[in-house]
A = this chain, B = another copy of it.
Amino acid sequence: MKQLWIRNGLFVTMDDSTPVIKGHMVISNDAITYIGEQEPEPQSLSESVEKLDGKGLAFLPGLINTHGHAAMSLLRGYSDDQNLQVWLEQKMWPMEGRYVAADTRAGTALAIVEMLRTGTTTFLDMYDRMDEVAKVTEQSGIRGVLMRGVIGLCSEEEQKAKLEEAIAFALEWNGRADGRITTMLSPHAPYTCPPAYIEKFVQAAHDHSLALHTHMSESRAEVEQNVRDYGVRPVEHLHRLGFFSRPALVAHAVHLNDEEIAMLAENGVSVAHNPVSNLKLASGIARLPELLRAGVKVGLGTDSAASNNNLDLFQEITMAALLHKGVSGDPTAIPATEALKLGTSLGAASIWKEKEIGMLKAGMKADMAAVNIDQPQYFPLTDIVSHLVYAGSGKDVRHVWVGGKQVVKDGQCTLLDEEKIRKEAQAAFERLLNG
C-alpha cells in the first residue's frame, strides 16, 4: 500500500462540520483515509509511509472546472475586445476549422498544464476529436469529464454521424484511466441544434445512462432568438425536449427570469457559472445569488482560454465572490466560503461527484492542492478561506495530487514535459495562423 502522511498542515476541508483543521492527513493509495488534529494511529500506517512536512502550506480540495474547451487554448489572445459575432465567425471558427488532431492534442496539453499548476484537479471538456483530449487527460494525471460537443447545423447524415461519434466516445472512455475519465453527451446549444436532434441526444442519454451538458442562455440575443424560433425561452424549450429528464448541466445561464430559476431548481438541473468569460464577451452577469437561494447546484467554469483568457479557477472563485456583491449592492452576497464551495464541494455536486471529490474527508479521493502561504498576501494569518478567495491565486499552488498521485511538485507538472508542450502549442498556433 502506498501511503502519504502530511504532518502539521492547515487543511481547508470544505466539510462544514470541521471547516479548517490544523493537523494531519493520511492518504492511502488513491483516497484520504485519515484527517484530524491528532497524529494518526501508528497501526494505521505502513512501514513505508512517506512523510511530508505541511509547514507553510494550506491544503484544499482540488478545484473543479465545470465548463471549458481545453484545445482552444491555442487561440488565447488571438482575438480580444471584439463583438461576439466577429470574434466567433471571423476569428474562432476559421481557425478551429483548420485544426487537425495534433492541434487538439497541443492545445489540450497546454490547457491541462495550466489547470494542474493552478490547482484544478477535475475539468469538464466539451469539444471535438475527443479521443485526443482523452489521451492527454489519461497521461497528465488530471480527472476529466469529457464529451463530444455537437453542433447540429448540418445534413441529417452528418447529424447522425456526429451523434454516433459522441456516443461511441462516451462508451469507450467512460471509467477509463483508473476511473479518472467519465463521459457525458452534449448537444452544443439550443441555437445550434434543431429540437428533434436534441431529442435524439436525450434518448441516447437514457439508453446509455449518461448525463447531458449544453450551453444555454449565454447572451440576450440567443434567448430572444429562441423565443422567435420556438415560442418559448430556452429553459422551457429544453424542458419540453426532455433534456431535464436526465441529470443535466447547463453552462452560462446568464439570462434567466424567476420562473426559469424555479424550473431549474425543481428539475435538479446544475449550472456552470463562467463569470469571467461572461464579462469578457459582454454576455452579462448571471443571477448567481438567486440561483443559489433557489437551491440550484452551481459550479464554476473558465470557459476556453480564448474568452477568459486563462484557466486559473481561483480567478473565477474570486470573481464570483466580488462581482455579485458589487452588482447586487449587498456586501454579504456570496461570502468567501460560498465562493470556495462553488469551486470545490458544490462544483463536485453540480457534476454528481460529491461523494468522491470536492472535500478533504476520510473516504474521499485524494484530489488536493497545496498552497504556499509563506507569502505576504497570506499575512496576517487571520482567515485562511478569506485569504484563498480574496488574496490568493492559482499561482500560489505548489503541489497537486489527483487520486493520491502527485501531478504537480514545486510548481511543475510531474507527468508532462512542460517546455515541450509550450513549444508545440506555439508551433501549432503558427501553423493554424498561416494555414
User: Contacting chain B: which of A173-181, A194-202, A292-300, A331-339?
Assistant: A331-339
Given A278-B326, A390-B280, A117-B376 contact (CB < 8 Å): yes
A80 touches B325 (CB 8 A): no
Please tell me which one of the listed residues B276, B383, B422 contacts residue A322 in the complex, with CB atoms under 8 A apart: B276
A318 to B312, CA, bound (A): 13
Report the minimum CB–CB distance from A55 to chain B (whole Å): 13
Please tell me which one of the listed residues B113, B308, B331 contacts residue A281 in the complex, with CB atoms under 8 A apart: B331
B390 touches A77 (CB 8 A): yes
B422 touches A376 (CB 8 A): yes
A387 to B83, CA, bound (A): 19
Contact of A168 with B by CB under 8 A: no
Q: Which of A390-435 contact B (CB under 8 A)?
A: 390-391, 393, 395-396, 418-419, 421-422, 425-426, 428-430
Count of chain copies: 2
Contact of A386 with B by CB under 8 A: yes
Task: Collect the chain B residues with CB atoms within 8 Å of residue A396's CB.
Answer: 395
User: Contacting chain B: which of A184-192, A204-212, A282-290?
Assistant: A282-290
B332 touches A83 (CB 8 A): yes
A83's nearest neighbour on chain B, judged by CB, is: B331
Contact of A381 with B by CB under 8 A: yes
B390 touches A393 (CB 8 A): no
Contact of A230 with B by CB under 8 A: no
Report the minimum CB–CB distance from A302 to chain B (whole Å): 11
A284's nearest neighbour on chain B, judged by CB, is: B326
Contact of A259 with B by CB under 8 A: no
Please tell me which one of the listed residues B78, B87, B333, B386 contacts residue A382 in the complex, with CB atoms under 8 A apart: B78
Q: Mark A298-314, 1 if CB is under 8 A from B, else 0.
A: 00000001001111100
Report the minimum CB–CB distance from A185 to chain B (whole Å): 30
A374 to B425, CA, bound (A): 12
Given A81-B335, A114-B376, A326-B279 contact (CB < 8 Å): yes
B336 touches A81 (CB 8 A): yes
Please tell me which one of the listed residues B335, B374, B377 contacts residue A312 in the complex, with CB atoms under 8 A apart: B377
A280 touches B382 (CB 8 A): no
A281 to B325, CA, bound (A): 7
Q: Mark A23-52, 1 if CB is under 8 A from B, else 0.
A: 000000000000000000000000000000
Task: Collect the chain B residues with CB atoms within 8 Å of residue A283's CB.
Answer: 326
Contact of A327 with B by CB under 8 A: yes
Task: Collect the chain B residues with CB atoms within 8 Å of residue A278's CB.
Answer: 326
Q: Mark A330-351, 1 if CB is under 8 A from B, else 0.
A: 1111011000000000000000
What 5 A-B pairs come out closest when comparing CB atoms? A279-B326, A395-B395, A380-B429, A309-B390, A282-B331
